[in-house]
A and B are shown apart, each in its own frame.
Chain A
């Protein structure tokens, strides 16, 4: 199956964010496999320099629907549907933001096309199909998924999975305005009665830390957690956790790492009592040095760690506290 055209669907806010540039870079490298084209679909204000910048990362054609601040999901998905219908790419990559995931799920339904969520890799494989990779259920493996009977292959990709890179000698690409008229009649179903800022719910950027401490199922006591937190301050680290740690109430959802949380790539990652389910591992594979501490010798995380420390967490903390 030849892939002639790969589309990247931009988010509602910025069409030239680092995140979108990562997706365009990946689309470019996939397109180079058989000289296909990269189409970037944007909705927002027409900003010439920003749009031209997208070509430096690999866009061949950019279509832009000139409408500022489209936050209405119906309208956005309607615009994207029309764009895809007109240009009919063989595949489309969406950001795995809340908004991107919703749009992708709607497009999947509209086009009856296969959609893979939260991909950690996309490859052309031997039978010339496109394979999407995501964490498999309840196991330390990655599933390879392909679309079937789909006119368009769809996927969402998490932030920070691919690295954006500028190409040299790129010619300027075509920028086309995409006319759109509202064809449906949808009243806003929601009235906002009250809106308050949540003071303790700030948006956290765990990617700014060079050291990440991560707690998992093996951390069972509040006292252990507190000791890890104290240690983190000493080394300027952030304390994050697995889904289990969030469920146990140790870690705020904003600090969850893994498939349903965030992806991190610190210089040093230290896993405290992390077993190493694939849903977590996919969030840390781009880390510099992975250190794992677990008393279970056979914990799957040791397969992915640079440094394996088989020990009880509290015992290790006792010793560290003596040293520092």
Chain B
């Protein structure tokens, strides 16, 4: 079985705001969860091949080295100046094109969304481009039987055990903020092994479908959130402020907006 896990590198300060970390990029926490779930399958059967796939800047390649150290068989970073500015449509094109190039992929694993963009659109774009079924809201991998994957799904107020026919695209709903514990030795081995760097030509991408050119949305500008509120600053001692708040809350439902 051949699995591709899609990992978005996100700016470290988006995830660990209060901690001091020296790496510019970190795993999107949703994708890290998806990666760990995928690796749990490998523990059941070592013949399973897992490929970590990212589109991003070269500053993020250490994440793919980490993925190797965690147990992935291959790490690929899709890096090309022509990819810059890709919106969700162009991103799903780049990822799906790379997955096609990888050939004979049984399972594509994604996180529910990225912590920065928060659109959750890319996973469905990949599935549509590859004409594969897409199953979301997954909680964990249970195992596999023959060529079927057994998964736990949490959808609304129901918990389901599913048997999924492959090939398919799946998305996990949870995230993890706990950084993987990687020994120095494993990290060194992963570094020696090295990752692959693919550009637009390597995946034979259509130049009209990638980056700014291939994107169908553009950001015109930013504005402040419009507010028509009277900004009252509550002054005085802590006791005065507490009194103000308590009185306001006591009015409760009698307030007319």
The residue of chain A having its C-beta at the shortest distance from the C-beta of B168 within the complex is A189
Given contacts A142-B223, A189-B164, A191-B162, contact A106 B239 (CB under 8 A): no
Are A148 and B161 CB-contacts (below 8 A) given A140-B224, A320-B246? no
Contacts of B159-184 to chain A: CB distance below 8 A = 159-165, 168, 175, 177
B109 to chain A, nearest CB (A): 15
Q: Tell whether, in the assembled complex, residue A148 and residue B216 are in contact, meaning their CB atoms are under 8 Å apart.
A: yes
Stretch of A21-29, A51-59, A82-90, A277-285 that contacts chain B:
A277-285
Contacts of A247 in B (CB 8 A): 175, 177
Which of the 9-residue segments A2-10, A111-119, A164-172, A221-229 touches chain B? A111-119
Residues of chain A lying within 8 A (CB to CB) of residue B154:
198, 201
Asked if B198 is at the interface (CB within 8 A of a chain A CB), the reply is no
C-alpha spacing A108/B13, complex, angstroms: 30
Q: Residue B124 contacts which of A102, A145, A210, A293 (CB distance < 8 angstroms)? A: A102
B44, CB-defined interface residue at 8 Å: no
B interface majority secondary structure: mixed
The answer to whether A115 touches B252, judged by C-beta atoms less than 8 angstroms apart, is no
Among B52-60, B62-70, B72-80, B131-139, the stretch that binds chain A is B131-139
Whether A109 contacts B217 by the Cβ 8 Å rule is: no
Chain B residues numbered 170-225 whose CB sits less than 8 Å from any CB in chain A: 175, 177, 215-225
How many residues of B are counted as interface, with CB atoms below 8 angstroms from the partner's CB atoms?
Answer: 76
Interchain nearest-CB distance for A112 vs B (Å): 7
A141: CB under 8 A from chain B?
yes
Residue from the list A146, A192, A196, A267 in contact with B162, Cβ < 8 A: A192
Which of A36-44, A61-69, A175-183, A297-305 is found at the contact surface with chain B? A297-305
Inter-chain contact A146/B224, CB cutoff 8 Å: no
Would you call the interface of chain A mostly helix, strand, loop, or mixed?
mixed
Interface bin, chain A: 35 or more
Query: A192-B160, A211-B252, A247-B177 given as contacts; is B239 within 8 A of A147 (CB)?
Result: no
- In the complex, chain A residues 71-129 whose Cβ is within 8 Å of any chain B Cβ: 73-74, 98, 101-102, 104-106, 108-110, 112-118
Q: How far is the CA of A257 from the CA of B154 in the complex (A)?
A: 20
Q: Which residues of B contact A198 (CB under 8 A)?
A: 154, 157-159
| A:147-187 near B, CB below 8 Å | 147-150, 186-187
The answer to whether A306 and B92 touch (CB under 8 A), given A281-B225, A285-B225, is no
Shortest Cβ distance from B126 into A: residue: A109
Of B134, B242, B243, B244, chain A has the most CB atoms within 10 Å of the CB of B242
Task: Check if B229 sits within 8 Å of A306, measured CB to CB.
Answer: yes
Task: Find chain A residues with CB under 8 A from B18 CB.
Answer: 217
Chain A proximity of B14: nearest CB distance (Å): 6
Proximity string of chain B (22-47) to chain A, C-beta cutoff 8 Å, 1 when within and 0 when not: 00000000000000000000000000
Contact (Cβ within 8 A) B255 A267: yes
A105–B128 touching, CB < 8 Å? yes
A324 to B241, CA, bound (A): 14
Q: What distance in Å separates the Cβ of A224 from its nearest Cβ neighbour in chain B?
A: 15
CB pair B242–A150 under 8 Å, yes or no, is no
State A116–B220 Cα separation when bound (angstroms). 13
A289 to B228, CA, bound (A): 12
The answer to the question of B113 belonging to the interface, with a C-beta cut-off of 8 Å to chain A, is yes
User: Known contacts being A197-B157, A210-B253, A267-B253, is A308 close to B232, with CB within 8 Å?
Assistant: yes
* Interface contact B241-A311, CB-CB below 8 Å: yes
Residues in B with CB closer than 8 Å to A322 are 239, 242
Establish whether residues B133 and A189, one from each chain, have CB atoms under 8 Å apart when the complex forms. yes
Chain A neighbourhood of B257, CB < 8 A? 267, 288-289
Tell me whether B158 and A196 are in contact (CB under 8 A).
yes
User: What are 27 pairs between A and B in contact, CB < 8 Å?
Assistant: A98-B137, A102-B124, A105-B124, A106-B128, A108-B88, A108-B125, A114-B217, A116-B217, A131-B220, A138-B116, A143-B221, A144-B220, A144-B222, A187-B165, A190-B163, A194-B161, A202-B157, A203-B156, A217-B17, A247-B177, A267-B252, A267-B257, A289-B255, A307-B232, A316-B241, A318-B242, A324-B246
Q: Which 5 A-B pairs have the closest CB atoms?
A: A319-B242, A114-B216, A105-B124, A288-B257, A117-B119
Interface residues of A, Cβ cutoff 8 Å to B = 73-74, 98, 101-102, 104-106, 108-110, 112-118, 131, 136-150, 186-187, 189-198, 201-203, 210-211, 217, 235-237, 247, 259-260, 267-268, 270, 278-279, 281-282, 285, 288-291, 293, 302-311, 315-316, 318-320, 322-324
| Extra A-B contacts (11), CB below 8 Å, given A108-B89, A108-B216, A192-B160 | A74-B133, A114-B216, A115-B216, A139-B222, A145-B217, A145-B219, A146-B218, A193-B163, A268-B249, A289-B248, A308-B233
